[in-house]
Homo-oligomer: A and B are copies of this chain.
């Protein structure tokens, strides 16, 4: 039961030749289940709750490793901070230029049209990125309600963020012995 939660994540890490650590499990798990497209700082703060003492350097290292292995993706917006997305499926983003919220946008109708050709003037397209910049619902109505809205959005997440480190350790121990 305890080990079941992280079975998939550990397997994924191993299949990519990565060592399994509690830090990596918690960060990857967090990114998979949040819809917030958090920054490194946000990842650090939220994972810190489950694993006090985790270093910000580890967060950056892990995000880089996961990104390089295609397990998560980076998102760059006009704000100077990189955001991270645990959802690597093909989808677009609506980005609010005011509050910098990033909303997932799935639209089958133009998925097939996104890569016009695979080779253009010698340029080989590997990945197509569609971003819709604009103003989100709450920002348009009232700018003052920003912080409150953000907190609410986080609360609405289907999966609780906080994880018990003991569960991870127990699982790791069982895994090691077995």
User: What is the interface of chain A, defined by CB distance below 8 A to chain B?
Assistant: 74, 76-78, 82, 94, 96-97, 103, 105, 107, 109-110, 113-116, 120-138, 140
Q: Are A130 and B132 neighbours in the complex by a CB distance under 8 Å?
A: no
Q: Are A133 and B123 neighbours in the complex by a CB distance under 8 Å?
A: no
Q: Who on chain B is nearest to A118 by CB?
A: B134
> Which residues of B are found within 8 Å of A129, using beta-carbon distances?
129-133
How far is A124 from B136 in the complex, measured between Cα atoms in Å? 6
State how many copies of this chain the complex holds: 2
> Which residues of B are found within 8 Å of A122, using beta-carbon distances?
136-138, 140
Q: Are B123 and A96 neighbours in the complex by a CB distance under 8 Å?
A: yes
How far is A132 from B114 in the complex, measured between Cα atoms in Å? 9
Q: Are A137 and B123 neighbours in the complex by a CB distance under 8 Å?
A: yes
A120 contact from B94, B130, B140, Cβ within 8 A:
B94
Minimum CB–CB distance from A110 to chain B (whole Å) comes to 5
Q: Are A130 and B128 neighbours in the complex by a CB distance under 8 Å?
A: yes
Q: Who on chain B is nearest to A115 by CB?
A: B132
How far is A113 from B111 in the complex, measured between Cα atoms in Å? 10
Q: Are A94 and B125 neighbours in the complex by a CB distance under 8 Å?
A: yes
